[in-house]
Structure 1
Amino acid sequence: MSRALRQEDLPPALLQDLDGRPADRTTGPQTRAPRVDGTSWLDQLPRRVAEALERWDLSRDDTQPLRSGYTALVVPVRRPRGDRGALKVAWPHTESDTEHLALRAWKGRGAVELLAADPPSATLLLERLDPDRDLMTGPVVATTEVLGTLLRRLDRPAPPWAPPLSAVLARIGDRLDRLHHDPAAGRSFPRRLTQQARSLTRDLLAGSTGDTGDHPLDRRMVHTDLHQMNVLWRPDPGEWVAIDPKVLAGDPHWALAPALWNRWDDVLAAADARSHLRLRLGLLCDAAGLDEDRATAMTIVRLVAEAARSIEEGGADRETWVARAVTIVKAVQPG
């Protein structure tokens, strides 16, 4: 019998990410897990794991290490008949509210298979993938094509529970306006790129019928955090699948930016960063069947929005986001 999880067993990275983090105050129609601050959640985590093991008659697989992301602990487990699984216990926040709904919609086609879910505790039982095999290594051409192919495979009509991209873009427009009108913040980022992103945001939002649900931006189900670390290998039958979905009712072109801002060491090592990034964007569009001009517009908006967020929040990642945004936005410019 596996021993109980102890506080000292928790991965250091998870402790660093969540200790002291305030509770997520954002709620929506899918909110079922009570909000709690990061420190309290970490204190409760051993008990939450024990409750999930009992709920689904699981045992810890102590031959494999615990894993973690920024907001969740993943515990390798064995199911009652001995088959392998992965127990994911998430810190309750907006994106964790809908993860089980997205995985149910995909039914294991292009995404990790959901075996069971307990939304009030933000706990999922998932199939076990190969946690050591992602797209952070390997040829850039091949791994980028995998991402584009997965984006096409995951495409579905937007479900009614998914937050709309048009609402996200409206908030981005407000943030870009604040950046544009704040002289101090404006000095942190090239003004012409902010102006370009504001104009593109207005263009993308044009054509609304007044009902967000009818906006052409909101018609497809999109994994908006599909990047090289969020794809793992499924040994049987042998294929790449997506994990950790953050879903919007949106436009697939919005999903390409994370595949550009990840594997950044490859960008820095490239003889020509612009050519490298444009190659990635072109490969993604070809594999996903997307229009490169529209992908360019949405990538520019998303990158400038991330830089604006970091500048506004004054986070430790501010310089990183500004540098990456400027590099990518300049790289994908036409001509």
Structure 2
Amino acid sequence: MAFEPPQRLVRALGETAPDGDDWLEKLPTAAQQAVALRELTVERVQVPGGRSSLVVLVRRTDGTPAVLKLAPPRARPQSERVALAHWGGRGAVQLLDGAGGEGVLLLERLHPDVSVRSLPEAKALLEAAGALRRLWVEPPGGHVFETVAERTGRQAEAMKAGAGGDVVSLVDAALGAREELLAAPPEVRLLHGTFRQSKVLAGERVPWLAVGPDPVVGECAFDLARLVRDRVEDVIASPSGAGTTRRRVKRLAESLEVDQERLRGWTLFRAVESGVRALRVGRLTDAELLLEFAGWL
């Protein structure tokens, strides 16, 4: 079977590929080798799939359905492996292959086409928040996960470099919020890192499980912030979008016992960071939505 990467993956990785990176060119061969090594039967490549990895639906030798995931080094697949092993299937997809190979994960099969985004908005937020709460545990001893300070530090430098024209004031506000938030974090937990509704899929063991973490260690409000802006296009289109945004912050903060102002601050930072990054790679519609949303915070 040909393992051609979906166009969504090609476009997304093309935006961030360093000079000389040939991971995409080597991907079909790497996928063939990973399948052969594990004696898997391939069903299909998941399309449109994700933005940072190839996802292949497979079956193991005993007929058990599973997912084979291949990701480039810059997507930090080894960190994902360690986090999934630490969670042990609690709130997240189960890791099936303990050893694995570089950039290769074998995971339990969920329902890849059914995420909480299929639910009405209020129910989707409730279920997503419940899955997220289960992930917030003490990080493993001696961990090598990136910290929130480290990750946002890199992002802050990129934001400064791209802060021109009308976005300067928003970037300044976001950077100021980050500095205040990092001064006294209330807790240190293992976080999903890139949590949103589309990262919560229907399962068999439990109704909903998180997938695709880019784990980071820090305060819970940072993790919850990305969920606040889910379905941002619908929020922006609503005549009461600004009020809806503020109510989301309040409702999610209360439901997960997170400080409301800290959640607002991290939501501002993450929305502006995403908006500036979208501007940098030419995704102008996404940038406009994100920066307008950030202005309401």
TM-score above 0.5: yes
Which of 292, 296, 317 is matched with 2:283 structurally?
Answer: 317
Which 5+ residue runs of structure 2 have no aligned equivalent? none
Which 5+ residue runs of structure 1 have no aligned equivalent? 25-35, 180-184, 208-215
Q: Distance in 2 between matches of 1:171 and 1:53?
A: 35
> Are the equivalent residues in 1 in contact too, given 2:272–2:294 (CA < 8 A)?
no
> Are the equivalent residues in 1 in contact too, given 2:9–2:52 (CA < 8 A)?
yes
* Deviation (angstroms), 1:194: 3.3
Max Rg structure: 1
Q: Distance in 2 between matches of 1:172 and 1:269?
A: 28
Which of 110, 129, 139 is matched with 2:120 structurally?
Answer: 139
- Coordinate RMSD, CA, aligned: 2.6
* Deviation (angstroms), 1:328: 3.4
Aligned equivalent of 1:327: 293
Structure 1 counterpart SS, 2:201: strand
Q: Distance in 2 between matches of 1:11 and 1:169?
A: 29
Is residue 274 of structure 1 aligned with residue 242 of structure 2? yes
Aligned equivalent of 2:42: 60
> Are the equivalent residues in 1 in contact too, given 2:191–2:215 (CA < 8 A)?
yes
Letter in 1 for 2:32: A
* Deviation (angstroms), 1:123: 0.5
> Following superposition of structure 1 onto structure 2, how do residues 141-156 of structure 1 map, counting pairs within 5 Å?
141-156=122-137
Deviations 1:215-261 (A, max 9, x none): x4772111121101111000x23411100001111111011232233
Aligned equivalent of 1:232: 201
Q: Distance in 2 between matches of 1:20 and 1:317?
A: 10
Aligned equivalent of 1:92: 73
- Closer/same/farther in 2, CA of residues 66 and 162 from structure 1, 3 Å limit: same
* Deviation (angstroms), 1:140: 0.8
Aligned residues: 294
Aligned equivalent of 2:7: 12
* Deviation (angstroms), 1:315: 1.5
- Closer/same/farther in 2, CA of residues 132 and 315 from structure 1, 3 Å limit: same
Structure 1 counterpart SS, 2:113: coil
* Deviation (angstroms), 1:21: 6.0
Question: What TM-score do you get using the length of structure 2 for normalisation?
Answer: 0.87
Is residue 161 of structure 1 aligned with residue 144 of structure 2? yes
Aligned equivalent of 2:272: 304
- Closer/same/farther in 2, CA of residues 17 and 294 from structure 1, 3 Å limit: closer
Structure 1 counterpart SS, 2:23: helix
> Following superposition of structure 1 onto structure 2, how do residues 67-216 of structure 1 map, counting pairs within 5 Å?
67=47, 68-117=49-98, 120-159=101-140, 160-175=143-158, 185-189=163-167, 191=169, 193-206=170-183, 216=185
> Are the equivalent residues in 1 in contact too, given 2:110–2:201 (CA < 8 A)?
yes
> Are the equivalent residues in 2 in contact too, given 1:164–1:218 (CA < 8 A)?
no
- Closer/same/farther in 2, CA of residues 218 and 23 from structure 1, 3 Å limit: farther
> Following superposition of structure 1 onto structure 2, how do residues 20-31 of structure 1 map, counting pairs within 5 Å?
22-23=17-18
Is residue 262 of structure 1 aligned with residue 233 of structure 2? no
* Deviation (angstroms), 1:137: 2.5
Q: Distance in 1 between matches of 2:23 and 2:154?
A: 29
Q: Distance in 2 between matches of 1:169 and 1:11?
A: 29
Q: Distance in 2 between matches of 1:117 and 1:42?
A: 25
